[in-house]
Amino acid sequence: MRMSEGVEWAMHCCLTLAWLGNELPVSTAKLAAGFELPPAYLNKQLQALAKAGIMTSTPGVRGGFRLARPLKEITVMDVVTAIEGPADAFQCTEIRRRGAGAARPEWQFRTPCAVSTAMRKAEMAWRRELAAQTLADVLAAADRRAPQAGEAIRRWYAQN
């Protein structure tokens, strides 16, 4: 399964806001500069997070984005759904009804095909795993792997 880069960007921005203390809004331009990302495209991702209730958006010169709720209340699945949308990753098009299957009787298609069933089972496992992880879990893992990351982020944003 392939997700857009917007999911990565969105998650990193959430973690950055948490490391910064989430007290003041941070502008799209500043978040984009922190990762050398195109501001206009990043803004689309941040707006999607705001629409999903993950972030809040404050307009104006001193405006920007803040987390709408604590990281422990935001799952990885919440972020993925906000950016990618809620549609299933696998879309069965019932190709078994075409070609060699076109002449088969209708009753043979009453149950989902084995391919569709297998893909949906795998997707449900994937979705459960993403829903089981909060952004607080991700932040804790980041802090364990790179204990200085939060301080480095705070220092960079204070200087820029």
93 part of a folded domain: no
| Three-class SS state of 55 | strand
How far apart are alpha carbons 125 and 20 in whole angstroms?
33
Domain of 47, CATH number, reads 1.10.10.10
70 part of a folded domain: yes
How far apart are alpha carbons 83 and 94 in whole angstroms?
27
81 part of a folded domain: yes
**What's the angle, vertex CA 105, arms to CA 100 and CA 106, rounded to 5?**
110
How far apart are alpha carbons 39 and 44 in whole angstroms?
9
| Ramachandran bin of 50, using left for φ above 0, alpha for ψ from -120 to 50, beta for the remaining angles | alpha
Residue 85 reports pLDDT greater than 90? yes
What is the number of domains present in the chain? 1
95 part of a folded domain: no
Residues 92-144 pLDDT 10s? 999 999 999 999 999 988 998 999 999 999 999 999 999 999 999 999 999 99
Greatest Cα pair distance, the chain, in angstroms, is: 70
Expressed as residue numbers, the domain containing 75 is 5-86+134-159
59 part of a folded domain: yes
Residue 3 reports pLDDT greater than 90? no
21 part of a folded domain: yes
How far apart are alpha carbons 4 and 50 in whole angstroms?
18
124 part of a folded domain: no
154 part of a folded domain: yes
H or E stretch at 78? helix 76-84
How far apart are alpha carbons 114 and 97 in whole angstroms?
14
Residues 19-62 pLDDT 10s? 999 889 999 999 999 999 999 999 999 999 999 999 999 998 88
